[in-house]
A and B are shown apart, each in its own frame.
Chain A
Amino acid sequence: MAHPTHWKGKELPSVLRRLFEVPNGHTLAVAKQHGAYETISRTLFDKSQFELIELIKDSGLRGRGGAGFPTGMKWSFVPRGGKPVYLVINADEGEPGTFKDRLCLDKDPHLLIEGMIISGFALGVRTAYIYVRGEMLPMIRRLNVALREAYDAGMLGENIQGSGYSLDIYVHRGAGAYICGEETGLINSLEGFKGQPRLKPPFPAISGAFQCPTVVNNVETIMAVPYILKHGAKGYRQWGSEKSPGTKLFSISGDVKHPGVYEVPLAIPYMEFFEIAGGLEGELLGCIPGGSSAPVLTAEETQKATMDYESLASLKSMLGSGAVTPFNTTRDPALILESIARFYAHESCGQCTPCREGTGYVDRILRKVVRGQGRDGDIELIKDLADSYEWTTICAFAPGAAWPVQSFVTKFRKYFDTHIARNTKHTESRELEAVRPGAFW
Chain B
Amino acid sequence: MTACVNPATIQPKDLTVAQVRERMAKYQPQIDELWRRYPVKRAVLLQVLWLLQEEFRWVPRVGIEWAAEVSAVSPAHAYGVVEFYTMYKQAPTGRYLIQVCQTMCCLIQGSEDLIAHLETSLGIHSGETTPDGLFTLVRVECLALCGTGPGVLINDEAIGPEKLEILPSDFHPRAADLDRWIARLRAEASSSPQQAAVDPLGGIVLNTKGHPAATGASAQPQKPGYAPAPPALKLAAVATGDAIALTWANAPECTKLVVERSDDGGATWRELASVGPKDQKAADKLAEGHSAHYRVTAHEKDRVAKPSAIVTSTGKPPPPPAPQPGVNSAPVASSTPSPSASTPPPGKA
Contact with B along A138-153 (1 / 0, CB 8 A): 1011011101100100
From A160-168, A200-208, A374-382, A424-432, the one touching the partner chain is A160-168
Contact A48 B147, beta carbon cutoff 8 Å: no
Contact B147 A259, beta carbon cutoff 8 Å: yes
Q: A173 CA to B46 CA in the complex, in Å?
A: 8
Does chain B have a CB within 8 A of A67? Answer: no
Does chain B have a CB within 8 A of A170? Answer: yes
Contact with B along A311-351 (1 / 0, CB 8 A): 00000000000010101000100011001101100110100
Does chain B have a CB within 8 A of A222? Answer: no
Does chain A have a CB within 8 A of B307? Answer: no
Q: A439 CA to B279 CA in the complex, in Å?
A: 62
Residues of B within 8 A of A134 (CB): 50, 85, 87, 156
Considering the complex, give the chain A residue whose CB is closest to the CB of B164.
A138
Quote the shortest CB–CB distance from A186 to chain B (angstroms): 12
Contact B87 A175, beta carbon cutoff 8 Å: yes
Residues of A within 8 A of B208 (CB): 151, 157, 168, 170
Contact A147 B205, beta carbon cutoff 8 Å: yes
Contact A253 B209, beta carbon cutoff 8 Å: no
Q: A174 CA to B107 CA in the complex, in Å?
A: 25
Residues of A within 8 A of B46 (CB): 172-175, 189, 192
Select which of A165, A193, A254, A260 is within 8 A of B226 by beta carbon: A165
Contact B146 A251, beta carbon cutoff 8 Å: yes
From A11-19, A119-127, A387-395, the one touching the partner chain is A119-127
Quote the shortest CB–CB distance from A113 to chain B (angstroms): 12
Select which of B43, B47, B203 is within 8 A of A141 by beta carbon: B203
Residues of A within 8 A of B229 (CB): 48
Contact A143 B226, beta carbon cutoff 8 Å: no
- Given the interface pairs A121-B227, A135-B156, A253-B146, the reply to whether A50 lies near B202 with Cβ below 8 Å is no
Contact A47 B202, beta carbon cutoff 8 Å: no
Q: A81 CA to B252 CA in the complex, in Å?
A: 11
- Label chain B's interface by main secondary structure: loop
Q: A421 CA to B230 CA in the complex, in Å?
A: 68
Q: A402 CA to B71 CA in the complex, in Å?
A: 37
Contact A51 B147, beta carbon cutoff 8 Å: no
Q: How many residues of A contact B (CB 8 A)?
A: 90
| CB-contacts of B203-256 with A (<8 A) | 203-205, 208-213, 219-224, 226-231, 233-234, 249-253
Q: A343 CA to B146 CA in the complex, in Å?
A: 14
- Given the interface pairs A138-B165, A252-B147, A343-B104, the reply to whether A171 lies near B202 with Cβ below 8 Å is yes
Does chain A have a CB within 8 A of B134? Answer: no
Select which of B205, B222, B249 is within 8 A of A148 by beta carbon: B205
Does chain B have a CB within 8 A of A292? Answer: yes
Does chain A have a CB within 8 A of B340? Answer: no
From A28-36, A93-101, A354-362, the one touching the partner chain is A93-101
Does chain A have a CB within 8 A of B284? Answer: no
Does chain A have a CB within 8 A of B24? Answer: no
Contact with A along B61-92 (1 / 0, CB 8 A): 00000000001010000001100111110000
- Given the interface pairs A50-B233, A97-B105, the reply to whether A135 lies near B203 with Cβ below 8 Å is no
Contact B45 A48, beta carbon cutoff 8 Å: no
Select which of A97, A138, A191 is within 8 A of B146 by beta carbon: A97
Quote the shortest CB–CB distance from B56 to chain A (angstroms): 15
Residues of A within 8 A of B230 (CB): 48-51
Considering the complex, give the chain B residue whose CB is closest to the CB of A331.
B108
Contact B211 A176, beta carbon cutoff 8 Å: no
Quote the shortest CB–CB distance from B336 to chain A (angstroms): 21
Quote the shortest CB–CB distance from A347 to chain B (angstroms): 6
Contact B142 A84, beta carbon cutoff 8 Å: no
Does chain A have a CB within 8 A of B174? Answer: no
Residues of A within 8 A of B170 (CB): 1, 258
From B15-23, B34-42, B185-193, the one touching the partner chain is B34-42
Contact B146 A136, beta carbon cutoff 8 Å: no
Residues of B within 8 A of A124 (CB): 222, 227
Considering the complex, give the chain B residue whose CB is closest to the CB of A143.
B202
Q: A194 CA to B46 CA in the complex, in Å?
A: 10
Select which of A102, A141, A191, A194 is within 8 A of B144 by beta carbon: A102
Contact A168 B200, beta carbon cutoff 8 Å: no
Q: A163 CA to B222 CA in the complex, in Å?
A: 12
Select which of A1, A323, A336 is within 8 A of B169 by beta carbon: A1
Does chain B have a CB within 8 A of A80? Answer: yes
Select which of A125, A148, A168 is within 8 A of B210 by beta carbon: A168
Quote the shortest CB–CB distance from B327 to chain A (angstroms): 33
Contact with B along A179-217 (1 / 0, CB 8 A): 000000000011111111000000000000010000000
Contact A140 B210, beta carbon cutoff 8 Å: no
- Given the interface pairs A135-B153, A347-B141, the reply to whether A164 lies near B226 with Cβ below 8 Å is yes
21 residue pairs from A and B, CB less than 8 Å apart? A45-B227, A46-B228, A51-B230, A94-B141, A94-B144, A96-B103, A99-B144, A134-B156, A138-B158, A168-B208, A171-B202, A176-B85, A193-B42, A196-B84, A259-B146, A325-B105, A325-B146, A339-B102, A342-B103, A343-B141, A349-B84
Instruction: Give residues in A with beta carbon < 8 Å to B.
Output: 1-2, 45-51, 54, 80-81, 84, 93-99, 101-102, 121, 124-127, 133-138, 140-141, 143-145, 147-148, 151, 157-158, 163-166, 168, 170-178, 189-196, 210, 251-255, 258-261, 288, 292, 323, 325, 327, 331, 335-336, 339-340, 342-343, 346-347, 349
In order of increasing CB-CB distance, the 9 nearest A-B pairs are: A140-B202, A50-B230, A175-B85, A176-B87, A50-B251, A192-B45, A164-B226, A48-B230, A253-B146
- With A48-B251, A50-B230 known, 5 other A-B pairs at CB within 8 A are A95-B142, A96-B146, A176-B87, A178-B142, A192-B71
